[in-house]
Amino acid sequence: MPPAEKLRGIFTPNIVPLDNAGEINEAELRRYTDWLIDHGVHGLYPNGSTGEFTRFTVEERRRIIAIMADQTRGRVPILAGAAEANVRETIRACEYYHELGVRAVAIVSPYYYKLSPPSVYAYFAEIGRHTPVDVTLYNIPMFASPIDVPTVQRLSEEFERIVAIKDSSGDIPHMIRMIQAVRPNRPEFSFLTGWDAALMPMLLIGCDGGTNATSGVVPEITRKLYDLTLAGRIDQARELQYKLLKLFDAMIYSADFPEGFRAAMQLRGFDTGLGRQPLSANQHVELATIRDTLQCLLAEEGFTDEPVSGCPPRAGGVDPQQVSQIVQGVLAELKRRGLA
């Protein structure tokens, strides 16, 4: 068997549409899968953080992958989120997804408990020894135990089945350190960034692609940013990165993740249903406002009409202040407390 191709490009971590009963809306999920592929994403990434994998049952997580694999029929590679309660259950999920024909799985570092590097190593080593399918390590230190550089390096050297890392820290020097530590020995190992806000510079310093939530809402932009950057058209790429950042900020900081992305996905024409994490009455009201803001941003790009209530005037191109002002208020708080 020839070696599988290196993971490259934009993989979409997709939200799962739900019906009125809160169950998986299979028809809409299939329609959304097609739409993403048609709009140019290089791959799909179900059961990621954006996909709210923790809020589904074991059986539901499997069903999501099964539906999407069936709908995709090999048109694009699938990276299947496979983390379960413990190593044994995770390996079982790897086996199942392998049978479904996914390109690879992605496994988040253990969460809830904050594990030390040796424990994180031991967890992935056990998986590396038994998985029948290629594995992407998933480092998201804001939610789960961090995977540090020596651990990535050691795992990459010891386990051929571990073929990539998705890193959502957004930390560029950290990404460079990983690439320096791994690439000389494993040139085919793939580095994917999960932080849309730095996609262009991440690609420029050596990343192979990204798993980017924005690509579930504006795949046209995320994909184009990828293409422009790889083509070395820096000025145009920069302009698009600025635009994407504004969208990303508006979606990620406006409400508890991933509500902003769900609201935006609705604006692109999908019936997402309500999320499983209940919202207070106030939050529902706020979300309506956020939806208007997002609609204006999407309307600027021609992806939708302006809301009935209209949008704030802007002096050509993108308006740099209004959205940003609100978002910055929250960000400021975060920074001030050393969080962001």
Contacts with a second copy in 133-152 (CB under 8 A)? 141-146, 148-151
Closer to a second copy at the Cβ: 75 or 335?
335
For the chain, the residue count is: 340
**105 strand-pairing partners:** 80, 135
Site for a second copy in 21-50 (CB under 8 A): 22, 49
Long-range contacts of 16-21 (CB under 8 A, 24+ apart): 16/46, 16/51, 16/52, 16/56, 16/64, 17/270, 17/271, 17/272, 17/273, 18/272, 18/273, 18/274, 18/275, 18/276, 19/273, 20/273
Whether the Cβ atoms of residue 33 and residue 71 lie closer than 8 Å to each other: yes
Of 40, 101, 201, 307, which lies in the binding site for a second copy, with binding defined by CB under 8 A?
201
Quote the least distance from Cβ 191 to a second copy, whole Å.
Answer: 13
E-strand spans in the chain?
9-12, 43-44, 79-81, 104-108, 135-139, 162-167, 190-193, 209-211
Q: How far is the CB of 7 from a second copy (least distance, A)?
A: 20
Residue 60: CB minimum distance to a second copy, A: 9
Shortest Cβ distance from residue 54 to a second copy (Å)? 5
Structure tokens at 294: 């997002």
Site for a second copy in 179-198 (CB under 8 A): 179-181, 184, 195, 197-198
# residues near a second copy by CB under 8 A = 93
Among the residue ranges 68-76, 112-120, 264-272, 305-313, the one whose residues contact a second copy (CB under 8 A): 112-120
CB of 75: closest distance to a second copy in angstroms? 30
In the bound complex, what is the minimum distance in angstroms from residue 125's beta carbon to a second copy? 7
Q: Tell me: does residue 200 bind a second copy (CB under 8 A).
A: yes
C-alpha 2/C-alpha 5 separation (Å) is 9
Do 43 and 77 contact (CB within 8 A), yes or no? Answer: yes
Q: Interface mask (CB under 8 A) for a second copy, residues 59-98, using x and -?
A: --------------------------xxxxx---------
CA distance 43 to 103: 9
**Does residue 176 touch a second copy according to CB under 8 A?**
yes
DSSP tag of 137: E
Q: CA angle 134-4-9, nearest 5°? A: 85
Contact pattern from residue 278 through residue 297 relative to a second copy, giving x for each residue in contact according to CB under 8 A and a dash for the rest:
xxx-xx--------------
Among 19, 26, 28, 172, binds a second copy (CB under 8 A): 172
From residue 338, give the alpha-carbon distance in Å to each of 117, 140, 147, 332: 23, 17, 21, 10
Residues 174, 186, 224, 268: which binds a second copy (CB under 8 A)?
A: 174
Using the minimum distance from each CB to a second copy, give the nearer residue, 76 or 199.
199
